[in-house]
Chain A
């Protein structure tokens, strides 16, 4: 379980708080999605969890224990994170890269054991990148979507009880995007805490157990997809006219942004 307890993040020389008192819980075995417009504080939330954002007040807790009081290595054994951006400076083989997910467990010297190799192989299969590795592809040759899936594999290899993903389906085509969401759903069924930052409101509405809608560093709405996916709320937050319908095929709320006619 990951809990944000009235978190305030203030970057130096910023005109307003990046997070102005955000509190919610991502429970075990549930998919909790954080959504919101650009600059609403979604990624800052992830950085606060990583200890990479200056916390002015509040705290981030892992099973009721403040993350700040645990060592980074211990947190990394329990929580795997796919951050929003990552650029590789040097060439590397796919399996070598995924194996770096075992770093929190191996530390500075211990060699990989059978369990580590198994975790890496399983993670590559689940993220659907085992074929890329078998073809001998290097990370530099991958498309944006393939690279996203390899990063997901690294986080899966890390193991632990919680998975945090910041925009994991950017650059993914429909099939791979769906595969990632289905995988996250599977992981929640395995009692993992899954915290997902995403712009894909319609997919989030179908898969998430709970949605947290951020706006200017505050929670604008939270609850089940039906609670949050309301036109009045979303229009105010995204500042764009839209309608919320119900997907006839799957019954989930679906959002449709409207076109606006420009006056000439």
Chain B
């Protein structure tokens, strides 16, 4: 094949990959708006989006399902982009956004808020503060060890902070009344049931800020993925670049956690799936992981609320159940 022919074939492959990811997200969003206790036809969904037709359908779509689907998509996008950036920077396929103490810190914040009987509107803020505090502690611990940018030390610091957070949670919940225990557990299992446009608005802000920074530094992640010495040889200060990327990834993860609790598996598995379909460089990988992560969480939420209505399954459990088959199908390619 001529070089030009090979180039064209490559271009066609890239285009079709993007098409698949975008179409998947559109289908996922449509399903999320159409399916539920009242199932709507595509036409009814279309009309309701423009405030036409059945008023009940308009309420269901615009008030109940759309905000929820959008929030789910944003959560997935944030976890996907954050996971892809962390895996590349840490050169670790097991890295995920909840490392660095994000999940543990957020959980401590949320559980404290629930246990202290604070208003439920304050729980997300407490979770966000908890996550940020935990990340700062992890950074501080790694810095005190004299290796602020060393991925392994930072990972261990994050794991230790997470373990400490878990013990704090157990101490608080062990003596808490049953309603506090239940509320806290539900929060930790993740949910977008209480989605509002305000929440989505905030999350968009953090995504633009943190995700935008990660996209800006995407080529540095390409280089960091080759190792610290090689990155230095290519003109990147590995410690400084890694610190900035961890910070931005943690910010995005903390924002998703404060909006919907802990939604596991997404940040770990989505980057692998997206790499598996052929994305190598981190800029397309980050965007692809955002799209795929959004689709995964939206679909998982559809399953969570339609499989046994009116009861809802924990979103975090469903993301894992939906994600595992995808992951297994790619595992052969990863090996």
A→B interface (CB under 8 Å): 12, 47, 50-52, 71-77, 79-93, 96, 100-101, 103-104, 106-109, 155, 158
Contacts of A75 in B (CB 8 A): 235
A72-B236, A90-B225, A155-B233 given; 9 more Cβ-contact pairs under 8 Å = A12-B146, A52-B232, A76-B235, A83-B229, A83-B230, A86-B230, A90-B275, A104-B234, A109-B219
Category for how many chain B residues contact A: 20 to 34
1/0 per position for B219-240, CB-CB distance to A under 8 A? 1101101111110111111000
- In the complex, are the beta carbons of B280 and A93 less than 8 A apart? yes
- In the complex, are the beta carbons of A106 and B219 less than 8 A apart? yes
- In the complex, are the beta carbons of B280 and A96 less than 8 A apart? yes
Residue B23 CB within 8 A of the other chain:
no
Residue B26 CB within 8 A of the other chain:
no
Docked complex Cα distance between A73 and B232 (Å): 9
Q: Looking at the complex, which one of A72, A84, A92, A106 makes contact with B232 (CB distance below 8 Å)? A: A72
Q: Looking at the complex, which one of B87, B88, B92, B233 makes contact with A81 (CB distance below 8 Å)? A: B233
Contacts of B223 in A (CB 8 A): 100, 103
Q: Give the nearest-CB partner of A93 in chain B.
A: B280
- In the complex, are the beta carbons of B235 and A77 less than 8 A apart? yes
1/0 per position for B256-280, CB-CB distance to A under 8 A? 0000000000000000000100001
Q: Looking at the complex, which one of B87, B218, B228, B334 makes contact with A52 (CB distance below 8 Å)? A: B228
Contacts of B91 in A (CB 8 A): 87, 89
Docked complex Cα distance between A26 and B20 (Å): 53
Residue B93 CB within 8 A of the other chain:
yes
Contacts of A107 in B (CB 8 A): 219
1/0 per position for B279-304, CB-CB distance to A under 8 A? 01100000000000000000000000
Q: Give the nearest-CB partner of A12 in chain B.
A: B146
Q: Looking at the complex, which one of A74, A76, A88, A91 makes contact with B234 (CB distance below 8 Å)? A: A76
Distance (Å) between the CB of A15 and the closest chain B CB? 18
Residue B216 CB within 8 A of the other chain:
yes
A-B contacts at CB below 8 angstroms, number: 85
- In the complex, are the beta carbons of B234 and A52 less than 8 A apart? no
- In the complex, are the beta carbons of B220 and A92 less than 8 A apart? no
- In the complex, are the beta carbons of B235 and A96 less than 8 A apart? no
Q: Give the nearest-CB partner of A49 in chain B.
A: B233
Docked complex Cα distance between A106 and B234 (Å): 11
Which of A84, A100, A109 has the most chain B CB within a 10 Å cutoff?
A: A100
Q: Looking at the complex, which one of A76, A85, A106 makes contact with B227 (CB distance below 8 Å)? A: A85
Q: Give the nearest-CB partner of A77 in chain B.
A: B235
- In the complex, are the beta carbons of B237 and A72 less than 8 A apart? yes
Residue B217 CB within 8 A of the other chain:
yes
| 25 A-B pairs whose Cβ atoms sit less than 8 Å apart in the complex | A47-B229, A50-B232, A52-B228, A52-B232, A71-B235, A72-B232, A76-B233, A81-B229, A83-B233, A86-B226, A89-B225, A90-B87, A90-B280, A91-B275, A92-B280, A96-B280, A96-B281, A103-B234, A103-B235, A103-B236, A104-B234, A104-B235, A108-B216, A108-B217, A109-B219
Which of A71, A72, A107 has the most chain B CB within a 10 Å cutoff?
A: A72
- In the complex, are the beta carbons of B220 and A108 less than 8 A apart? yes
Docked complex Cα distance between A107 and B88 (Å): 18
Q: Looking at the complex, which one of B218, B232, B275, B281 makes contact with A51 (CB distance below 8 Å)? A: B232
- In the complex, are the beta carbons of A50 and B222 less than 8 A apart? no
Docked complex Cα distance between A170 and B229 (Å): 18
Which of B91, B233, B275, B334 has the most chain A CB within a 10 Å cutoff?
A: B233
Docked complex Cα distance between A77 and B87 (Å): 27
Distance (Å) between the CB of A13 and the closest chain B CB? 10
- In the complex, are the beta carbons of A52 and B229 less than 8 A apart? yes
Distance (Å) between the CB of B90 and the closest chain A CB? 8
Q: Give the nearest-CB partner of B276 in chain A.
A: A91
Contacts of B228 in A (CB 8 A): 52
Docked complex Cα distance between A79 and B93 (Å): 31
Docked complex Cα distance between A52 and B227 (Å): 12
Q: Give the nearest-CB partner of B223 in chain A.
A: A103
Docked complex Cα distance between A52 and B216 (Å): 25
Distance (Å) between the CB of B228 and the closest chain A CB? 7
- In the complex, are the beta carbons of A103 and B219 less than 8 A apart? yes
Contacts of B220 in A (CB 8 A): 108
Q: Looking at the complex, which one of A51, A84, A89, A103 makes contact with B92 (CB distance below 8 Å)? A: A89
